Amino acid sequence: MRKKSIDVLLYMLSLLPFWAMYGISNLLYYFLFYIIKYRKAIVLENLKNSFPEKSAAECYIIAKKFYRFFPDLIVEAIQMRSISAKQVLDRIELLNPEEVYRHFDQNKGVIGVTAHYGNWELGIYRLSLMTDHPRLIIYKPLNDKSFNEVYNSLRCRFGATMVPMKQILRHIVRLQRSPHISMFVADQTPTYQDSDYFMEFMHQETLVYTGTERIARLTKNPIVFCHIGRKKKRGYYFCKFTTVLENTDVFDQHKITRILSRSSDTIIKEHP
């Protein structure tokens, strides 16, 4: 009953046009940043630690940009309930899909990696529409079962298959030696049961997810990083694919994890 209520509410809200949703986003920005100052001190402290070379004024500007974009992500996530395939194709441009297709042409699976940057949720839809080969989205289940089921049903609208982290292996082994893509989020926060490896990320010691490396070593599939960035026009994005590793079984332990973390680290530092 609760799941159905959430789904109906999301659907009704998603029918609002984008211009109306961005009006709501504008109000949310003002409310979060200026009135309740949601986690503002924590955000500023994290920025200070992540960008030690920047002044307090520069960190404040970055914080405002974050709070300005965060409500856009919320309303765009709601729009995913009823957005059409045509709208998805219009709103996120694939700059070089041939970088993925060339691996498919060699009858290889692809380990896709992205970060919590740009609109990664819309990226799931665009990925789903770029190929008919199996598309696996690796995710960390939410604690709230109702929200987890609703959001998973949204993410599968265009043919992707949602796979919990702990079930990755059996799905990928089943697809071995056939074209497919499995998408991981490089900066996903693991539990201590899932990882014990710490490394420096954004100038801070961080517990990092190593499951992508384990799957890469097992399957020997190429790793393609998906950079989802924002265009100048509000609500529009691009995705650039870069094969960061062709042969994944020739590196020392944790080397692949460090390479992937650096990919995210570099993008964030260049465009915070």
What does the pLDDT look like over 204-248, one tens digit per residue? 888 888 888 888 988 899 999 999 999 999 999 999 999 999 887
Say whether pLDDT at 191 is over 70: no
Mean pLDDT, rounded, for 112-135: 92
Please give the Cα distance from 247 to 220 (Å, whole number): 6
Residue scoring higher pLDDT (235 or 151): 235
Mean pLDDT, rounded, for 14-37: 96
Residue 67 · residue 59 · CB < 8 Å = no
In 10 A of CB 47, how many CB atoms? 21
Residue type present at position 202? M
- DSSP secondary structure string for all residues of 22-59: HHHHHHHHHIIIIIS-TTHHHHHHHHHHH-TTS-HHHH
Q: How is the beta sheet containing 135-139 ordered, strand by strand?
A: 92-94, 237-245, 223-230, 109-114, 180-185, 135-139, 161-164
Strand pairing class (223-230; 237-245) = antiparallel
Give the angle subtended at the CA of 10 by the CAs of 3 and 158, to the nearest 5°: 90
**Helix, strand, or coil (residue 270):** helix
Mean pLDDT across the chain: 90
Mean pLDDT, rounded, for 78-89: 95
Band of residue 166 on the pLDDT scale cut at 50, 70, 90:
confident
